[in-house]
Amino acid sequence: MSAVQPARRIALDVILAVRESDAYANLLLPVRLQRAKLSEADAGLATELTYGTLRRQGYYDAVIALAAGRPVEKIDPAILDVLRLACHQLLSMRVAQHAAVDESVQLAKTVGSNSATGFVNGVLRTITRTPVSEWQDRALASAKNDDERLGILHSHPVWIIRAFRSALAAEGRDSELDDLLEADNVAPRVSLVALPGESTVAELDAYAATYSPVGAVLDGGDPLQLEAVRAGRARVQDEGSQLAALALSRVRPVVRGERWLDLCAGPGGKAALLAAEAAQSGAVLVANEVVPARAELVRKALAVFDPAPEVWELDGTTVGDDHADEFDRILIDAPCTGLGALRRRPEARWRKSPRDVAHLSGLQSNLLDAAITALKPGGVLAYVTCSPHLAESKVIVEGAVKKWGDAIERIDTPAVLATITGETLDLGDTKHAQLWPHRHGTDAMFIQLIGKV
């Protein structure tokens, strides 16, 4: 029997930690890779094994249930993790079968009993006896309905598939559902923002982004190799997030002395871009974040500016109490399910539940109400979520319009974005902008600009 390759060991350790301790793979894996000092090739293998296994878990579970002849809920969870990791190698990576099976059996020994090791060996031998394409057909045939079939094919929970379909259907484009689900299974390239006045896209040795005038895309490599990133003058930031911040800062010319508020600022990505934009135009930014540790991250993100913007630690739902009619521009980048960023957080889709949506939508409405109160008459706010779920996006805005009536007005956000990007984005015929990974190459950001009359 061969020794287990470090890449497989690390991948399993991270997958176990994700399930047992709610770890985030995108935070834990880089730490483990650095500690193990793996070669670039082995680090790449460990990343593919970890992310691929976590993303495609739904599909692999369907195959494992068939091969084991029992529902996956009846399999010891650590042994199931070993089987999922092996499935990724056998069904998606096509590594040599004997290496995948032998090393998985070795790994099973470290987390289970002797009988569990025999079980892993038996299930994996069964899987290797049938061609990969046939496993897909058999798994799809085991689905009880069309949504379950899609769930197996693209490895997404059914409730998320339904939420995405509703959001696309609201634009009359539900035929794009397959493309969207597949886009979630591809890790995005590293996207950077060159903070205006601090850095330039040209300095970053990267491609100019498609839409954001301050965005760049790295072809590969570690962004921390760039001096501008190490110094905080440029940051890793999705292009959709950049557009959300710019929609607010560039919706119309800035009058010197304007007061801006980033209501939910942690960890500070959009606050940094807003602070740069404010410094360029003579506005003053205040950033707010209710969780103290995250407020500290905001302070770090803003340390590059002199003077650095003030950071408050208020519950954002109360900001209207002491700050009514105070701010000219407010960003509400609301806490949300993050369903729009599934491609960068491989385990996230399995952690969320419809209950999260119900809980968050109440908070989102309250934050929006508080921000409207804190906005000066004549001011503008941006309501933003990194989720296309209608209950967190369009429905929240419609609720505010119903409640506030003529006191607020929706601003044509796609038209504002077109002036920023220099071209019309392919968006629905709506006042809000819903970006999509499969259509725009960004996270699925929802952006609605609202004016206070």
Ligand X SMILES: C[S@@+](CC[C@H](N)C(=O)[O-])C[C@H]1O[C@@H](n2cnc3c(N)ncnc32)[C@H](O)[C@@H]1O
List residues forming the annotated binding site: 264-270, 289, 315, 333
Where does this chain touch ligand X (CB under 6 A) — which range of 30-38, 111-119, 286-294, 371-379?
Answer: 286-294
3-state secondary structure of 249: helix
Instruction: Based on the residue annotation, tell me whether 87 is a catalytic residue of this protein.
Output: no
Q: Which amino acid is at 392?
A: E
Handedness of CA 94, 98, 99, 103 (dihedral sign): positive
For ligand X, the closer CB: 11 or 265:
265
Q: Annotated binding residues for S-adenosyl-L-methionine, as ranges?
A: 264-270, 289, 315, 333
Output the smallest distance, CB 299 to ligand X, in A: 13
Does the footprint of ligand X cover residue 6 (CB under 6 A)? Answer: no
Does the footprint of ligand X cover residue 241 (CB under 6 A)? Answer: yes
Catalytic pick among 85, 386, 396, 449: 386
Does the footprint of ligand X cover residue 243 (CB under 6 A)? Answer: no
User: In angstroms, what CA-CA distances link 134 with 137, 209, 319, 347?
Assistant: 5, 40, 58, 26
Pairwise CA distance, residues 224 & 230, whole Å: 6
Cβ neighbors of 256 (< 8 A, separation 6 or more) are 281, 282, 283
For residue 283, the tally of other CB atoms under 10 A from its CB is: 20
Does the footprint of ligand X cover residue 414 (CB under 6 A)? Answer: no
Does the footprint of ligand X cover residue 361 (CB under 6 A)? Answer: no
3-state secondary structure of 145: coil
Size of the site for ligand X (CB under 6 A): 18
User: In angstroms, what CA-CA distances link 43 with 4, 50, 100, 290?
Assistant: 15, 11, 17, 36
Output the smallest distance, CB 335 to ligand X, in A: 4
The alpha helices in 381-432, defined as continuous H runs, are 394-404, 413-421
The alpha helices in 188-288, defined as continuous H runs, are 227-230, 239-249, 269-281
Does the footprint of ligand X cover residue 364 (CB under 6 A)? Answer: no
Does the footprint of ligand X cover residue 285 (CB under 6 A)? Answer: no
3-state secondary structure of 234: strand
Pairwise CA distance, residues 66 & 416, whole Å: 52
Q: Contact with ligand X (CB under 6 A): which of 50, 117, 212, 317?
A: 317
Output the smallest distance, CB 226 to ligand X, in A: 19
Output the smallest distance, CB 296 to ligand X, in A: 11
The answer to whether 196 and 214 are in contact (CB under 8 A) is: yes
Q: Contact with ligand X (CB under 6 A): which of 52, 266, 388, 441?
A: 266
Cβ neighbors of 124 (< 8 A, separation 6 or more) are 83, 86, 90, 100, 101, 104, 105
Output the smallest distance, CB 385 to ligand X, in A: 8
Q: How many residues does the chain have?
A: 453
Does the footprint of ligand X cover residue 268 (CB under 6 A)? Answer: yes
Does the footprint of ligand X cover residue 195 (CB under 6 A)? Answer: no
For ligand X, what does the binding mask look like between residues 329 and 348, x meaning CB under 6 A?
A: ----x-x-------------
Output the smallest distance, CB 345 to ligand X, in A: 13
Does the footprint of ligand X cover residue 291 (CB under 6 A)? Answer: yes
Pairwise CA distance, residues 286 & 307, whole Å: 12
Does the footprint of ligand X cover residue 352 (CB under 6 A)? Answer: no
Q: Contact with ligand X (CB under 6 A): which of 290, 302, 339, 371?
A: 290
Does the footprint of ligand X cover residue 267 (CB under 6 A)? Answer: yes
Q: Contact with ligand X (CB under 6 A): which of 108, 265, 274, 416?
A: 265
Does the footprint of ligand X cover residue 238 (CB under 6 A)? Answer: no
Backbone angles phi, psi at 259, to 5 degrees: -105, 125
The answer to whether 198 and 189 are in contact (CB under 8 A) is: no
Where does this chain touch ligand X (CB under 6 A) — which range of 35-43, 157-165, 285-293, 443-451?
Answer: 285-293
Where does this chain touch ligand X (CB under 6 A) — which range of 11-19, 51-59, 274-282, 309-317?
Answer: 309-317
Binding site for ligand X (CB under 6 A): 241, 264-270, 288-291, 294, 315-317, 333, 335
Residues tagged active-site: 386
